[in-house]
Amino acid sequence: MLTPIDIVPVQNTLGEGIVWDGRRAWWTDIQEKRLFRYDPAKRALETFDLPERLGSFGLTEGDERIVTAFESGFAFYQPHDGALAWIARPPHDAAKVRFNDGRVDRQGRFWAGSMVEGGGAPSGKLYRLDADGRYEICVTKVAISNSLCFSPDGHVLYFADTPRRQIWRYRLDPVSGALSERSVFAETPPGAFPDGANVDSEGCVWSAHWGAGQIVRYDPRGRIERTIALPVTQPTCVAFGGDKLDHLFVTTARENLDKAAIKQQPLAGALFVFAVGVAGLPEPRFRPRPGTA
């Protein structure tokens, strides 16, 4: 087991969507409607209350606001004063559907997928939010959207419908944002469900395996290159940070764990930081056109 260089015992119910802004890590506790910001150099933690559950978000170019996928739609949000400006609220096809995982691509567009809560028909979708504030539905019939990340050149999108235990690889047109040529990139074993993911500077995919308590690094061909075991069973998302972008920040969850399970894994819901010896890539930023929200 690789020893963490830092642990932030925040006890998140559902920590998710972590990103690095060049100095600090940001993430959301979806179920508690809170946003977290952590400066590892100062070991300083801040929290911000949110108006809705926040599934995912991205940094915005030239702006202190973040671009968000709240449970009901896309918006710009200013953490310091709570200012909210809705961009679009796509209608969900069924009850108990909310936005979940998301990430900004190399061209500055924001992608986010929705998920079905509590079972039922897979009526979630994968959306692309463009610079002008318009959105497009790119994938349908999804149960739980996850694993959104992009190859270093921006020509490949990775995506998973978690219950299917497969990470898919799409060809991404860098100009139009259109997806094509879906193939299976990796398949996880029973009990290991692909959650949040990220891509490093070598084009390898780092995937959080919910239920299996591990982070798996896949090479660009989908072969397992290494595994990081965690002292908790529900890792949720990963981001590269630190001065050299070679620290892996991992969010986790304690959702659905009973008292006995939490006693066995008291750090469930904590933020973990590992020195992995591989550099990530700077987090892309959403590039809205003037006048977008």
- Catalytic residue, chosen from 195, 200, 243, 246, is 195
Find out whether 167 and 158 touch, Cβ atoms under 8 Å.
yes
Would residue 292 count as lying in a domain? no
Q: What is the pLDDT of residue 164?
A: 97
Provide the number of structural domains found in the chain: 1
Would residue 80 count as lying in a domain? yes
Structure confidence at residue 290 as a pLDDT band (50, 70, 90): confident
> Hey, which bits of 133-277 come out as E strands?
135-142, 145-150, 156-161, 166-172, 179-187, 193-199, 205-210, 214-218, 224-229, 235-241, 247-252, 271-275
Structure confidence at residue 118 as a pLDDT band (50, 70, 90): confident
195 given a catalytic annotation: yes
pLDDT in tens, 218-273: 999 999 999 999 999 999 999 999 999 999 999 999 999 999 999 999 999 999 99
- The dihedral built from the CA positions of residue 207, 115, 212 and 273, taken in this order, carries a sign that is positive
What is the average pLDDT value for the chain, to the nearest integer? 96
Would residue 293 count as lying in a domain? no
Average pLDDT over residues 173-199: 97
CATH code for position 146: 2.120.10.30
What range does the domain containing 139 cover?
6-286
Q: What is the pLDDT of residue 109?
A: 98
Give me the percent of the chain exceeding a pLDDT of 90.
95
Would residue 195 count as lying in a domain? yes
Would residue 260 count as lying in a domain? yes
Look at residue 293 and tell me whether its pLDDT is greater than 70. no
Q: What is the pLDDT of residue 259?
A: 95
Would residue 291 count as lying in a domain? no
Cut 0.95: pTM above it: yes
Average pLDDT over residues 201-217: 98
Structure confidence at residue 37 as a pLDDT band (50, 70, 90): very high
Work out whether strand 214-218 and strand 110-116 pair parallel, antiparallel, or are unpaired: unpaired
Work out whether strand 97-104 and strand 110-116 pair parallel, antiparallel, or are unpaired: antiparallel
Would residue 269 count as lying in a domain? yes
Would residue 1 count as lying in a domain? no
